[in-house]
A and B are shown apart, each in its own frame.
Chain A
Amino acid sequence: GAGVSQSPSNKVTEKGKDVELRCDPISGHTALYWYRQRLGQGLEFLIYFQGNSAPDKSGLPSDRFSAERTGESVSTLTIQRTQQEDSAVYLCASSLMGTGTNYEQYFGPGTRLTVT
């Protein structure tokens, strides 16, 4: 079946511009996660959705970052007024359920964001 998909696969933007990154999770997965992978760093947790609610936004690095999820499906991560330090690969994952379960997280291919 279809896995997690993300778009665009690559995005180059000028400093100060806003960008939107999209994630389509596996159908029926109630939990959705965003992670960031900067060069030479491990993956960092950004935000977790259970259904359309985000009980944990603690990983969002600043108020320029926001995310939403609709229809318990598609999620959009928005970065306003992009800075060069935002350059990274943004990975989305989904799982059947989230909290307190052993369900695996399935990852998408990521969006590589480059801020010039």
Chain B
Amino acid sequence: KQEVTQIPAALSVPEGENLVLNCSFTDSAIYNLQWFRQDPGKGLTSLLLIQSSQREQTSGRLNASLDKSSGRSTLYIAASQPGDSATYLCAVKGSGGSNYKLTFGKGTLLTVNP
């Protein structure tokens, strides 16, 4: 059974700092990995999707890397802003018989202080 772990559970940083969020998964047979952002009372917003054959994806100040063999992904946020404050979720899509559903970590709660 796939398990996804996110470290740290919570992170507080001053504005302008670069930061890294970590995600690990137990079964390396994945189709892709997605990073989402969740704001209080809101749904999930997809930030980046990395296919299993890819090593990284970039969007603006966000860069996500994937090391499938070691079961790890990182989300790098450059020059953090107070508007980046949210919960960040990592999710993997399996490549076996359940290659449609996402398995989520519990998330990292990020607070960026002005």
The A/B interface has a contact count, at CB < 8 Å, of: 62
- What is the interface size of chain A, counting residues whose CB is below 8 A from a CB of the partner? 28
CB distance from B24 to the nearest CB of A (A): 13
Q: Answer yes or no: B4 CB below 8 A from chain A CBs.
A: yes
Chain B 31-55 per-residue mask, 1 if CB under 8 angstroms from chain A, else 0: 1101010000111111001010000
Q: Please tell me if the beta carbons of B49 and A102 are within 8 angstroms of each other in the complex.
A: yes
Q: Which of B44, B45, B89, B107 has the most CB of A within 10 A?
A: B44
A residues with CB within 8 A of B = 4, 31, 33, 35, 40-45, 48, 50, 56, 59, 91, 93, 98-100, 102, 104-110, 112
**Chain B binding surface SS class:** strand
Q: Please tell me if the beta carbons of A56 and B98 are within 8 angstroms of each other in the complex.
A: yes
CB distance from A111 to the nearest CB of B (A): 10
Q: Please tell me if the beta carbons of B31 and A43 are within 8 angstroms of each other in the complex.
A: no
CB distance from A42 to the nearest CB of B (A): 4
